[in-house]
Structure 1
Amino acid sequence: MTGKKIITVSLTALLFTASVPFSACNKQLDINSTRQSDEANSWKSIDDARSGLMGIYGLFRAAVADNNTHWLMGELRNGDFTSLKRPDLKAIIEGKLNASYPVIESITNWRRFYAAINACNLFIERSGEAMADARYTGVNHKIDVAQARVLRAFMYYYIVRIWGDVPLLTKSYDNGSFKTFARSPQQDVLGFAVREIEEAAPLLPYVYGNGDPVLPGLVYHTKTYDQWRNTLINKVSAYAILAHITALQGNYYATAGYTDFVMQNYSKIGINYLSVADLTGKTGIFNELAGDLASDQNQFISFNFIKGMGESSVSGHIEQLTLAYPLVSKQLPDIYITNDTLASMFPTSNGQDLRFGTDTSSVDQGTPTLYRNAYITGYGEEIPIFSKIKSINGGIAGEQQFNVFTSAILFTRLEEISLLRAEALAVLGHVDDAAALLNNIQSRRGVKAFDPAVPGADLIKEIFEERRRELVGEGWRWYDLVRYHKIKKDSPAFNALISNGGIYWPVAREVINNNPNITQNSYWK
């Protein structure tokens, strides 16, 4: 596999949940067991192992897609979007995270993440039994377990960003032996995640089904390179996750090291930089191609919804929140970016930004000002539409009458990792190298080069402003704000929010009611 979208999963993978469905638990974390009564018969063959592994990917995708969790938690709070008519979304934007709305109560329940973590634990413990099937080789099993370990670590990183201290579970539990767990310090959880990936990443191939030295042969789990190329965690994506974990820890020396590995090796998995058309076009990274393959754009980590596999859906896509007429049959969007905010995000001093800005090439004297519409449709109107991501049932605006979407949930890509590396180098004082990375991204977007030697130039601020522009709508804004203010320490209000634990979300009341050892985040008590 070349890592084209290194995490994608067909809903057919959720056959796993048919073989090991959720059952009621004994108030462990308000999560359900992934075991069932005939669990002893569930690990007999390579087919069982394959279903178990693919099920983990499917459960992870379901966790981040549920109620649009990825965007509600990553994009709205203190972000660039405004809510037009939904008080629940407005509450999130304003940081009123303990407001009594069903969607807030739902997304603050970590049950779905722990269901996926429990599936990882179960796979790590039991999948070796499937080696009784001679087709399931030791090499195959070792790589499968390495994926499960990286996915488990990735999930812990994901939820620590949200809740801070979280329970650390490293064993699976069936119905009869569920226990109650208290929350572990976030640094302990992140430390566990780092150790897990450091041990597992060297065991992973760069590509699957294409004769990788770690995984010889042209077939992996009955499929070839072309069929797996957009599907699984590989060595480079594992190190990309490590880079993010260490940045969250504030360990920028480690972040610089892990991002260096990614930058030195991304070509081995077919990754390349993206044009604006790659980001927003019909065959861009958020969209699918014909049949059962994902988009032809190579990225590190994303979860795809492929129409050819029956994965089109109404929810779990940012388009559900951002698109409206004339792009889809919806009168007004739930969220949008105001004209004033757009103007502040994309200042004219940046040059001819290809993502959004004045299109002087097609403006004659006396004609109306035209704007580049790669990211925005209807700038200047009262409600401009954020249309950077618009995979409408496998097509584009105007081609479908139904609000059904197929866009990927993209976690990271080469531009994002490059800017994360620039952030780390800037913090460590490697100004020239950081500026070179920043300008490499900006030059591809028509933005004038940033000169850190100019009096008053703020390299770190400009790196985060470029992340704001480049990654808008991809679920990064809130987490970027947290890291930025931890570095700068120049906002008393945000500093207080960090010190008092207000950067984290409250835990759902249902979780606390079901487990007396789970306490609420102090800021939200």
Structure 2
Amino acid sequence: MKPYNILFLFLIVLFTRCGKELDLPSRHQVPENNMWQQRNDARSGVFATYGLMRAALANENAFFAYGELRAGNFKASNRADIGAVTTQQLNANFSTLEEWKDWRRFYAVIAQANLCLQKLPQVLEKDFRYNEQNMKVDMASVRFLRALAYFYIVRIWGDAPLIADAVDGNFSGRSRDPQSKILDFVEQELTAASANLPWNYDGNQPEQIGIYYDQAGSFWLSCIASKAACYALLAHVYAWRGDYAACESNARLVYENTSLGKYTFTTASTLTAETGGVFSALGNGVIFSLTADSRYQESAAKGHLEDWTLSAPLVDKTVPEVYVPADSVLKIFNEPNDQRFAISLAGAVSGGYFQNFTNPVPMFSKIKARTFTQQPLFNNFQSAIVVTRYEDIVLLRAEALYYLNDLNNAMVYLNAVRTRRGLTEFNLQTGGNLLNAILKERQRELLGEGQRWFDLVRNRQAHLYSGLTTDQITRGAALWPLSKNTLANNAAVQQNSYWK
């Protein structure tokens, strides 16, 4: 069974008191005093945290709503709620917007992680099969997830309550902490987690010797926390804070340890493959993802980007809910021989990113991990949410080197991706602005993966693509408003100023 099978989302109530903390009704099926007694309880508690992280990002395709819809690439074909996000109308009256504006799902991850950190030592005391090494890896794993949840919260809402203990009762009176304090905490968590996590789970790492929870190393590759995942996320955190020296240092650790981490560059065909590729979490370029593998009953019709982006002939739908307009595609992919998407002078289209390009609403087909069940065929999807992969970090390192004024090496890492996608090498004499070239390559390579909006905000370019003015962004428009539910349940929390 994969680590965060949907079953764990039902089991979560066995391990946490976050129902009280989050104003959710408790649904205990086993008394809490019967939990945290043995090794399997530890495994269930840890991987329930992964399941909750997956739920937080998959719910109504939240990772895509936060990371892509406001950035100007994607448009809505027929859904007004999605259209409201693409036009920055985040206070529009739609139930889906209320879901996206509610940070409760991320706090469920945090509550479960806090509980694990409190209870795992108890399992160590009670079950001889659960050794100290196993506990250290598990605790590092949930600390990574807690850090990831807080990093999303900061980038989406800014200031927020920082809760690091498994508190009992209601935390409705907790006020917001400054995002700088939260980011300090995230850095500390990731640094601590990296010390106790292996590069991979082959059983030969000093941090993790032997078989991890009865599965071979290949089973865990890219789908749970590792040293590389910690360093990759740290690189993003430092870039968000503008500390590009620390960003480059952590990105370098990822870059220089590919043999230990067992990741590397991926081909364009693997990037867009329907099976066995990046979005099946099987591509060799994935560093950390949240999987939904049909072999372990994790696939579903909803909670996957394909539900919004695919149309005929891949699924029984005439028009997708979201798409990239043809003129935008041509602006993004404006260089010949790009293996991801190119159009010849004769009008022939190549590459796997788009299909039906001549239609008024082209299909974004980069991510298309379908699975079929029953007779007649019923479409389910099993795409992983790829949080970070190797090309992401290589290009982030190029960005860091640009800001550190090491332009020659910045070009080296930019071109490491460009040439693998069929493009010519960038050079300063003919290529124009280097930072814009790096960000455009990130736009092309990571399109649809939930990175673009954060790239624009981080580099102060959101006003160029979003329709927001620099004045609006200065007044806080880049953040999301808080949901009505959040405000109603916590009187100590005030609405983000721009959205009042």
Q: Report the TM-score, using the length of structure 2 for normalisation.
A: 0.93
For residues 182-227 of structure 1, give each alpha carbon's deviation from its aligned partner in whole angstroms, at most 9, with x where no partner exists.
111111101110011112211111122422122222x112223233
Q: Which amino acid aligns with 2:406?
A: H
Classify 1:14/1:37 alpha carbon distance in 2 versus 1 (closer, same or farther; 3 Å).
closer
Cα deviation code 1:381-420 (max 9, x no counterpart): 211111111111169xxx9943321111111111111111
SS at match of 2:238: helix
Query: Hey, what's the Cα distance between the residues in 2 that align with 1:390 and 1:43?
Result: 39
- Alpha-carbon deviation of 1:484? 2.3
Pick the aligned partner of 1:316 from 261, 285, 303. 303
SS in structure 1 at match of 2:387:
strand
Aligned length: 497
Amino acid at match of 1:422: A
C-alpha distance in 2, partners of 1:180/1:32? 18
Gaps of 5+ in 2: none
Equivalent residue number for residue 422 of structure 1: 398
SS at match of 1:302: strand
- What residue is the counterpart of 1:90 in the other structure? 83
Among all aligned residue pairs of Structure 1 and Structure 2, give the percentage whose two residues are the same amino acid.
Answer: 36
2:109 is aligned to 116
Task: Give the SS at the match of 1:418.
Answer: helix
Answer whether contact 2:401 2:409 (CA < 8 A) is retained.
yes
Q: 1:496 aligns to what?
A: 471
From 385, 389, 396, the counterpart of 2:367: 389
- Find the residue that maps to 2:429 and give its secondary structure: coil
Deviation digits for residues 130-167 of structure 1 (CA, Å, limit 9, x no counterpart): 01210111111111111111111111001111111111
Contact 1:34 1:115 in 2 (8 A): no
Match of residue 369, structure 1, among 347, 352, 375: 347
Alpha-carbon offset, residue 357 of structure 1: 1.1
Deviation sequence 1:317-349 (CA, Å, 0-9, x none): 1111111112100121101111111111111xx
Counterpart selection for 2:382 from 406, 409, 424: 406
Task: Supply the AA of the counterpart residue of 1:407.
Answer: S
CA pair 487-326 structure 1, distance change in 2 beyond 3 A: closer
Letter in 1 for 2:370: I
Q: Aligned partner of 1:457: which letter?
A: G
Structure 1 counterpart of 2:76, one-letter code = S
Partner of 2:277: 285
CA displacement, residues 434-457 of structure 1 (integer Å, 9 cap, x when unaligned):
011111101111112111234x82
User: Secondary structure of 1:425's partner?
Assistant: helix
Give the letter aligned to residue 172 of structure 1. A
Report the Cα distance in structure 2 between the residues aligned to 1:271 and 1:342, rounded to whole angstroms. Answer: 29
- From the superposition, tell whether residues 282 and 500 of structure 1 become closer, same or farther in structure 2 (CA, over 3 Å): same
**Corresponding residue of 2:319:** 332
Aligned pair in 2 of structure 1 residues 497, 419: CA closer, same or farther (>3 Å)?
farther
Task: Report the CA distance shift for 1:122/1:452 in structure 2 as closer, same or farther (over 3 A).
Answer: same
Judged with a 3 Å threshold, the aligned counterparts in structure 2 of structure 1 residues 48 and 81 are, in CA distance, closer, same or farther, namely: same
Following TM superposition, where does structure 1 have runs of at least 4 consecutive aligned residues deviating by more than 6 angstroms? 32-37, 486-492
For the 8 Å contact 1:164–1:504, the answer to whether it is kept is: yes
User: Match of 2:386, SS?
Assistant: strand
Matched, 1:438 2:430: no
Shift of 1:498: 3.1
Cα distance between partner residues in 2 of 1:492 and 1:327: 32
Q: Which of these residues, 10, 17, 22, is aligned with residue 12 of structure 2?
A: 17
Question: In the alignment, residue 157 of structure 1 is paired with which amino acid?
Answer: F
- 1:354: Cα distance to partner? 1.1
Equivalent of 1:252 in 227, 244, 252: 244
474-483 or 296-305, larger mean C-alpha shift? 296-305
One-letter amino acid matched to 1:308: R
Counterpart residue number, 1:74: 67
Q: Which moved more, 1:182-191 or 1:482-491?
A: 482-491
Opposite residue 427 of structure 1, the aligned amino acid is Y
Distance in 1 between the 2:466 and 2:152 partners?
Answer: 25
Contact 1:356 1:375 in 2 (8 A): yes
Q: RMSD of aligned C-alpha atoms?
A: 2.5
Q: Distance in 2 between matches of 1:267 and 1:167?
A: 39
Instruction: Report if aligned partners of 1:242, 1:258 keep a CA contact under 8 Å in 2.
Output: yes
- Whether the aligned pair in 2 keeps the contact of 1:160 and 1:166 (CA below 8 Å) is yes
Whether the aligned pair in 1 keeps the contact of 2:272 and 2:352 (CA below 8 Å) is yes
Question: What is the distance in 2 between the residues matched to 1:444 and 1:400?
Answer: 40
The answer to whether the Cα contact below 8 Å between 2:222 and 2:288 also exists between their aligned partners in 1 is no
Gaps of 5+ in 1: 1-6, 289-293, 361-367
Alpha-carbon shift at residue 286 of structure 1 (Å): 4.2
From the superposition, tell whether residues 331 and 201 of structure 1 become closer, same or farther in structure 2 (CA, over 3 Å). same
Q: Structure 2: how far apart are the matches of 1:238 and 1:500? A: 32
Match of 1:505 in 2: 480
User: Quick one: structure 1 residues 275 and 400, their matched pair in 2 at CA, closer, same or farther if it must change by over 3 Å?
Assistant: farther
- In 1, Cα distance between equivalents of 2:402 and 2:435: 6
3-state SS of 1:485 partner:
coil
1:356 to 316, 337, 341: 341
Distance 2:357 2:465 in 1: 33
Pairing 1:125-524 to 2, within 5 Å after superposition: 125-131=118-124, 132-175=126-169, 178=171, 180-217=173-210, 219-288=211-280, 295-347=282-334, 350-359=335-344, 369-393=347-371, 401-454=377-430, 457-485=432-460, 494-524=469-499
Letter in 2 for 1:244: H
Contact 1:30–1:510 (8 Å) recurs in 2: no
The alpha-carbon deviation at position 20 of structure 1 amounts to 2.6
Q: TM-score, normalised by structure 1?
A: 0.89
- Give secondary structure in 2 for the equivalent of 1:144: helix
1:323/1:81 CA distance change after superposition, 3 Å: same
In the alignment, is the contact (CA less than 8 A) between 2:325 and 2:362 conserved in 1? yes
